[in-house]
Structure 1
Amino acid sequence: MRIIGGKLKGLRLNPPKNLPVRPTTDMAKEALFNILLNQIEFEDITVLDLFSGTGNISMEFASRGAAQVTSVDRSQQCVFYLKDTTRQHGLTQVQTFKADVFKYLDMETEQYDLIFADPPYDLNKIPEIPKIVFAKNLLKPDGLLIVEHQSMQNLSNHPAFVEQRKYGHSSFSFFRVTEAEN
């Protein structure tokens, strides 16, 4: 696992083996950030990273100049690892929260430019994520929600769904605020 762009490009991340995570592969992450490179300016955006795990995605956004990255995971070990790693590398814009993601979303009122969710693949509430994000208006105008999930799962029935990109067993589904929702 490594940072693929920005000021920490090439940094190898070596999280403890006992973390309860399934990190986004370097290949899928590189493909995702190539897509995003053509759609958004990383500098000064606000990002919410749900089910952040090792913080691999949070650190990628921070390395590329995001102004604020909020990382949420229920594992204390993951939160400690991310806090320690971001401190070591001067990524002061990353804030970590130990919380159940759905409880966090229920209380969240801030809007973000980009929300990334990488829930456990066996979580049966994955389709709830776009519903909650859009019902609570958590994206800024032109904001983007990305949900990583198993390729066999289909999230296209949400009105804000834009596209699904498949990378082996993993897929990214993209959702955008539509004009009617602004």
Structure 2
Amino acid sequence: MRIISGTYKGRKIVAPAKLPVRPTTDMAKEALFNILNNQYYFDDISVLDLFAGTGNISYEFASRGTEDITAVDDHYQCTKFISHTAKALEMPIRAIKSDVFKFLENSKQQYSIIFADPPYNFSIDLFSKIPKLVFDNKLLDDRGLLIIEHSKHTDLSDLSNYSHSKKYGGNMFSFFEHSQ
């Protein structure tokens, strides 16, 4: 994987082969950040990266100047890799080993952007728990955005607070925000 913009633009990060991950493709990541770049000043936001895996999304935010990044994954080797990489690159990323749903139930911090990249084979019931916990627990600030990455074969448009989706190859990003 590579960082596509910012201070570390072009930097390749090689994750151990044994990690149980599916990193967001460069094409999809670039498209996502083009959307976010029109809505946010990256140095002025807080980010929660759920099912963080290799930390791909967290590194991209850090490279663009975000100073408040929390990466959550339940796999020890993933959080260890994120912590090690963040320290080596002097990036402000806190890696937390936790079940994502338990983290969302117990978190008190509000975020500007919450990005979730759960396993593509999640049931719709598991997918639906993410926005429910985020909005019930008021984890997004007033302008906040929840983004869930999923397969193009999964439809999340019936979930509460759904706004819209964007498709990039086999990937989809579904966006959720406060009801207007």
- Shorter chain as normaliser: what TM range? over 0.9
Paired position in structure 1 for 2:142: 141
Mapping 1:58-77, distance limit 5 Å: 58-77=58-77
- Report Cα offsets for 1:36-76 as digits up to 9, x if no partner: 11121111210000000000000100111112000000111
Q: Which residue of structure 1 aligns with residue 23 of structure 2?
A: 23
Q: SS where residue 16 of structure 2 aligns?
A: coil
The correspondence of residues 81-100 of structure 1 with structure 2, limited to 5 A, is 81-91=81-91, 93-100=92-99
Give the match's secondary structure for 1:7: coil
Corresponding position of 1:9: 9
Q: What code does the residue aligned with 1:15 have? A: A
Matches of 2:66 and 2:157, distance apart in 1: 28
Amino acid of the structure 1 residue aligned with 2:69: V
Specify the code of the residue in structure 2 equivalent to 1:117. Answer: A
Distance 1:3 1:82 in 2: 14
1:109-165, CA deviations, whole angstroms, 9 ceiling, x for partnerless residues? 110000000001112201211111111110000101000011111111234211100
Return the letter of the residue paired with 1:47: V
Give the match for residue 107 of structure 1. Answer: 106
Whether 1:79 and 2:79 are equivalent positions in the alignment is: yes
What's the secondary structure of 1:8's corresponding residue?
coil
Q: Which runs of 5+ in 2 are unaligned?
A: none
Deviation at 1:168, TM superposition (A): 1.8
Tell me the distance in 2 between the aligned counterparts of 1:104 and 1:159. 20
Question: Are the aligned partners of 2:132 and 2:160 in contact in 1 as well (CA < 8 Å)?
Answer: no
Out of 159-168 and 140-149, give the one that drifted further. 159-168
The reply to whether residue 174 of structure 1 matches residue 175 of structure 2 is: yes
Q: Which amino acid aligns with 2:179?
A: T
Contact 2:55 2:82 in 1 (8 A): yes
CA contact (8 A) 2:131 2:160 kept: no
Task: Give the distance between the partners of 1:128 and 1:149, measured in 2 at CA.
Answer: 14
- In the TM superposition, residue 3 of structure 1 has moved relative to its aligned partner by 0.5
For 1:72, give the aligned amino acid: V
Q: Partners in 2 of 1:88 and 1:101 — Cα distance?
A: 25
Superposition deviation, residue 177 in structure 1: 1.5
Q: How many residues align?
A: 178
Q: Which amino acid aligns with 1:29?
A: K
Deviation of 1:83 after TM superposition, in Å, equals 0.6
How far apart are the structure 2 equivalents of 1:148 and 1:127? 13
- Report the aligned-residue RMSD: 0.9
Moved over 3 A (4+): none
CA distance in 2, matches of 1:178, 1:63: 31
- Who is 1:163 aligned against? 164
Between the aligned residues of both structures, percent identity stands at: 51
